[in-house]
A and B are shown apart, each in its own frame.
Chain A
Amino acid sequence: MGAGLESLLRDGPVAINLGLRGFAESLESQGGQVVHVDWTPPPEIDAEVADILDKLL
């Protein structure tokens, strides 16, 4: 078991940022720990297949 909500509050955010780069930059400017993921949308067909798989599994 990783981080529950209580340990988030106790330890402070150690963040993975997915999407708007500015959010990672402002976390970092406050001295927060963050790794930014260069997210791109999955290819359409993959998303559809993945949705079906998600429903099946």
Chain B
Amino acid sequence: MTSDRKITSDVAVRKNQYYDSVFLMSVASRMQVTPGVTDAAALMGTANNKQMLVEMGFDPGQVGEATPQDLVVALRGKKDAVRVILADLDSWLERKEGALFAASASSWDEARRRQPGSNIAVISVPGRYAARETHAALDASMNVFLFSDHVSVEDELAMKKKASQAGLIVMGPDCGTAIVAGVGIGFANAVRRGPVGVVASSGTGLQEFTTLIHRAGSGISHALGTGGRDLSDAIGGLSTQAALRALERDQGTQAIAVLSKPPGTRTLEALADALADCRKPVVVCLLGLTEAELPRGGFKVARTLDEAASLALQLTGGPLPAPVLPPAAISEVLSREVALVNEGQKYIRGLFAGGSLCYEAQQILRDLALTAHSNAPLPRMPRLADARASFEHTLVDMGADEFTEGRPHPMIDASQRSARIRAEGRDPQVAVLLLDVILGYGVPEDPAGDLVAAIRSARGEAERRGGHLAVVASVCGTDADPQGLEKQEGTLRDAGVILFPSNAQATLAARDLISRIDARRS
């Protein structure tokens, strides 16, 4: 009997058993790596999820009865492996409860009774329920950090109008990070308190900026996320304006940085007016806008997050970031790398966990006249025909929807990015791999360690072909993050990765490598 004949599919439905998606993805990931298992999914029985399971080849009859309140576990693999897991499903679904965790309530009302001074709701329920819960929080005079995505523009506008009228803020939807009075919410880094306030519609942009400020020896008063659509003309920057006004009045904030992708045309004008009128010094970094499109007057404009951090440090009289390596030493390192690269190697492949970092890298390459393809392209940059297949110079946002529908974000789970790193290693035209590694609350214990096996494998492939793969990266994090910046950087260095203190500098180095390779060829 061949092993194929032992392959089986089975589905278990648990009625009225709800788990959040992040937990279920971790359960599915553990099942997936069990010997004998070829496919594993653990999902709530929503219409989309059921459709996905059917597309994965599971029996519609078995899946169909589940409701969004029901857990569905679908497995394919060797009969014994599948049977053993399903027989012991309860233990797979046991949480490793956080030892610290004590306070928990069964409802809004109970939570508010237990903690009467509550001033913010942190909401990460599935998108279709997010608007209701947000309105409930606003009606109880609470600010909202809304992590949920798939919230309609109409719902976003309604909740932000309500917040605005009540002197509250809605950070989000799709807001990944904020720091309020030294406390990180969502995927934030551990940064010291200090004089720089931040308003950001880009999550990893906020993380990169705040870690750069911390690493220069200064600190953050508050960093308020607004959600990626806030500065679109449909929303009109309601949360950005609220955050700006609050930071303007905040005694601990001396200067304010505004970080965003390009705003809508009308909203950009209103934002420029508000920034010019602000009584505190302001730095604005609108990733993706060209020099000519940037607003001027009454505030500083930065092209990159790096530059925004330097300007904010200057405005607050803080120390300036020192380069980790002097330029001559960087040049020497890059020359050594280029000498090992062989004839056919000529392209950069950037694989990003941070969407804003992918955006920033594209802008830097565009400014330096290098065209890169992306699944999340800047204006006037070419879109990849297929996000899963690189073409010439390519920068991929691996946190984009096409990679995260039903799968964990690359900040949480390195498996998709590792697979892509290995794939790039098999492409003989790739010369430079450009990566970001993001630390902080909410991400795994060892994000660098999760990538190094793939990095070593990709480098090994290039060496077997008689070439060399240069791997350039930056770590977005601090010494105070749970993972420890130094330790994470050490892990990458041990794997031969050339590290830079910021994504912008890593991107410049990648561009420099390509220039040197091109010069050698001509």
A-side residues, CB < 8 A to B, are: 1-44, 47, 50-51, 54
Contact = CB atoms under 8 A, between A and B. Distances in A.
A15 B121 contact: yes
A15 B140 contact: no
Contacts of B118: 2-3, 14-16, 35
Contacts of B246: 5-6, 9
Contacts of B123: 18-19
A36 B105 contact: yes
Interface of B: 18, 20, 22-23, 44, 67-69, 95, 98, 100-108, 110-112, 114-115, 117-126, 128-129, 132-133, 135, 137, 140-143, 145, 147-148, 166-169, 180-186, 190, 221-222, 242-243, 246-247, 249-250, 441-442, 482
A36 to B, nearest CB: 5
B107 A37 contact: yes
B72 to A, nearest CB: 14
Contacts of B129: 41-42, 47
A6 B95 CA distance: 37
Contacts of A38: 104-106
Contacts of A2: 118-119, 140-142
Contacts of B180: 8-9, 12-13
A25 B185 contact: no
A12 B115 contact: no
Describe A's contact surface by its main secondary structure. Answer: mixed
Contact of A19 (B69, B107, B125): B125
A54 to B, nearest CB: 7
A3 to B, nearest CB: 3
A10 B148 CA distance: 26
A8 B101 contact: no
Most chain B beta-carbon neighbours within 10 Å: one of A4, A25, A29:
A4
Contact of A25 (B18, B100, B124, B137): B100
Given A19-B20, A29-B441, A36-B104, A4 B168 contact: yes
Q: Which 10 A-B pairs have CB atoms at the shortest separation, nearest pair first?
A: A2-B141, A3-B119, A19-B124, A12-B181, A26-B441, A4-B167, A25-B98, A40-B18, A20-B124, A35-B111
